[in-house]
Chains A and B, each alone.
Chain A
């Protein structure tokens, strides 16, 4: 009987492995991607949920410490693909509200008029086309134009973007040099209204950033290096140039980043940055900035501490040394270990510390934040989402110096306790 089955099987098995018929259910597939965080919380002692951030710190540790609803909804599709040449359309609309009402209309003023029913904002943050393989001399390269999140580098646990020149722009990326990949881009930002000779009204100052990146440089086993150079300057109109009372600022930002894979079951990213004058920041030029320079170190990673435990960590040191004496140093450490009880439930602890020391006179501002969260997510990876969380957050700071809370905590208080529920999702 066994031989009978073997005979029956022979024709299809040995003859040929018949290839699959793969269907396309539509003329093109739409990628639906996005991000969401929202929820509800309260402060111990009464009031809406407070969120805690050290005065002057560019970021705060985010677990159980986010008070707004923020969402991004994106649709993308490859609308043309012939002979390996393709055109991809990408779109994304962002939305943010105070998370205070059902109806929070986006009238554009972020609730600044005091009306709690129109406290949200919405913005088209991405709308671009990426054209791949359209330049014969550069196979594999992608030409793009439009509004775009351009190669943003962030730290997840404190939502800090240390290299981000997103905006309207154009460029070419993935130019294969054999030993690495080159990308060139030109992006735009504006930094407020220029005032004619210190008097009359003017127009916005247009700033340009020219970005050159050399990435995918293999320097050690599973280790990659990326080198970045950004030049930012104001792109002045004739009347702006002729205004003797107006001085524009420009600057450079250099970035070296090393990414190590297979690092204790995860990875480590170390970035070193140096910037001057108008480019002191994270990638956009500030035409009104003073002279000075900045050094920044960001080291972060995710490691496996055991079969069921992963931890993200970050250390940041940033020194802004400004000629006007109004710079500062910012030191920040954070860890978020997550223990997975099973495929869908985990417990996360997040401990974050920030210290801001003014360059001149003035008090230091420091803050410790601790959050315990029980989480439910689709899968057990550190990155698995969506994630529903029940959290308790405690923060401590020096109330004689400043108030670290966004609301519900009185001036002079040294600490605060909040609790609530949040969902965070990306897809």
Chain B
């Protein structure tokens, strides 16, 4: 008699216990930040010529960046005293990790940020799938951090429909159908490659124009990132402008006029208008002197 009664009681006990056990043991509202400061982030080496594929998943550490909490991958760049070119690709799956890149100098001071505009949509081409991709020049910076922002995560990217990609490759009329839209998220697969700028690696720079097949210009123009409206670009802070002036001076003193011009152009895009006149003044004084 006793066992007959206790069996249903046991069942009820289990039924009651189940939802309790299902409660998450860690509060989900505030994901833990891995580190207190940028300098203590877990950096991994990115050697010249390396091509790394990194999955950004639930196991990837998080950090509270100024723009908000985000998963990230941090790299230590070679100290070769020269420029590098980084190619960063974020592959599209159910969602896509829309990257943002922060560069730090050797003293772990932030120098530049590359926002979403630096990683536009690259339609599937060759056998490579849809991706967000950008190429960045590294001028003396030593650390590179790939992350995203809550603001970016609220956006989405319009892709080219694969039936249209097929039609273009085949010389057929693409079907007039809407393109799929993939939401931005905080997981994904990124590929990063570091090349020595101006190096002459056979099969790389020589064949790149042929092998780095670009999508048809028209199709790329028609696609693009759909993002919430962003605030109007502001003038750069004095610190940013100082950085560019210093970099221009360094380039001029090493006789690299091309680099100085490029820096001035980047500075202009960043809202640091004074850098250009600084360069002109330096050139002017050089001519007069």
Residues of A within 8 A of B (CB): 1-2, 4-6, 8-23, 25-26, 28-35, 72, 74, 76, 78, 86, 88, 92, 126, 132, 149, 151-154, 156, 215-216, 222, 224, 226, 259-262, 267, 269, 302, 378-379, 381-386, 425-427
Q: Which size class do B's interface residues fall under?
A: 35 or more
Kindly state whether residue B158 has any CB partner on chain A within 8 Å: no
B209-A78 in contact (CB<8A): no
A20/B212 contact (C-beta < 8 A), A154-B172, A259-B177, A385-B127 known: no
Chain B residues within 8 Å of A16, by CB:
233-237, 240, 270-272
Measured CB to CB, the closest approach of chain B to A171, in angstroms, equals: 14
Given known A-B contacts A11-B240, A21-B137, A222 and B111 have beta carbons under 8 A apart: no
The answer to the question of B36 belonging to the interface, with a C-beta cut-off of 8 Å to chain A, is yes
Q: Can you identify 10 A-B contacts, CB atoms within 8 angstroms?
A: A8-B108, A10-B237, A16-B237, A18-B269, A29-B213, A152-B171, A156-B166, A216-B176, A261-B175, A385-B127
Q: Which of B135, B173, B205, B240 has the most CB of A within 10 A?
A: B173
Least CB distance from B3 to A in Å reads: 46
> B237 and A15: CB pair below 8 A?
yes
Return B256 CB to nearest CB of chain A, in Å: 15
A35-B178 Cα distance, complex, nearest whole Å? 25
What is the minimal beta-carbon distance from A207 to any residue of chain B, in angstroms? 21
Which residue of B has the minimal Cβ distance to A130? Answer: B218
In the bound assembly, the distance between CA atoms of A20 and B240 in angstroms comes to: 15
For the complex, is B217 an interface residue (Cβ under 8 Å from A)? yes
Chain B 53-68, CB-CB to A under 8 Å as 1, else 0, gives 0000000000011110
**Pair A9/B209 contact, Cβ less than 8 Å:** no
Expressed in whole angstroms, the Cα–Cα distance for A78 and B129 within the complex equals: 23
Asked whether A18 lies within 8 Å of B162 as measured between CB atoms, the reply is no
A302 to chain B, nearest CB (A): 7
Contact A8 B266 (CB under 8 A): no
Minimum Cβ distance to chain B for residue A229 (Å): 16
Whether A153 contacts B110 by the Cβ 8 Å rule is no
- Docked-complex contact A269 and B175, CB < 8 angstroms: yes
Complex contacts, A156 vs chain B, CB 8 Å: 166
Contact of B178 among A86, A151, A262 (CB under 8 A): A262
Interface membership of chain B positions 125-137, coded 1 if the CB is closer than 8 angstroms to chain A and 0 otherwise: 1110100001111
- Smallest beta-carbon distance A21→chain B, Å: 5
The complex places the Cα of A226 from the Cα of B176 at a distance, in Å, of: 9
Q: Is the CB of A11 within 8 A of B110?
A: yes
Chain A residues contacting B208 (CB-CB under 8 Å) are 25-26
Query: Are A19 and B37 within 8 A (Cβ)?
Result: no
Q: Which 7 A-B pairs have the closest CB atoms?
A: A20-B118, A15-B237, A149-B171, A261-B177, A26-B209, A224-B176, A19-B269
Query: Cβ of A12 and Cβ of B113 under 8 Å apart?
Result: yes
User: A8-B110, A16-B235, A149-B172 are known contacts; what are 19 more A-B pairs with Cβ within 8 Å?
Assistant: A15-B235, A15-B237, A18-B112, A18-B115, A19-B115, A20-B118, A21-B265, A22-B118, A32-B126, A32-B210, A35-B169, A132-B218, A215-B176, A216-B176, A224-B176, A259-B177, A261-B177, A426-B169, A427-B169
A229 to B221, CA, bound (A): 29
Considering the complex, which residues of chain B in the window 63-90 have a beta carbon less than 8 Å from any beta carbon of chain A? 64-67, 85
Minimum C-beta distance from A79 to chain B (A): 12
- Report chain A residues within 8 Å CB of B215: 31
Residues in chain B near residue A10, CB distance under 8 A:
66, 237
Q: How distant is A78 from chain B, measured CB to nearest CB, in Å?
A: 6
- State A154–B166 Cα separation when bound (angstroms): 12
Chain A residues near B178: list those with CB within 8 A: 222, 261-262
Contact A8 B109 (CB under 8 A): yes
B258 to chain A, nearest CB (A): 13
Q: A153-B173, A222-B177 are in contact. Are A18 and B214 (CB under 8 A)?
A: no
B102 near A31 with CB under 8 A, answer no
Nearest chain B CB to A147's CB is how many angstroms away? 11
Residues of B within 8 A of A78 (CB): 217
Q: Is the CB of A9 within 8 A of B237?
A: no
- Using known A-B contacts A17-B115, A259-B177, A262-B178, determine if residue A33 contacts B266 with beta carbons closer than 8 Å: no
Q: Is the CB of A88 within 8 A of B239?
A: no
- Smallest CB gap from A217: residue in B: B176
Chain B residues near A30 (CB, 8 Å)?
A: 209-210, 213-214
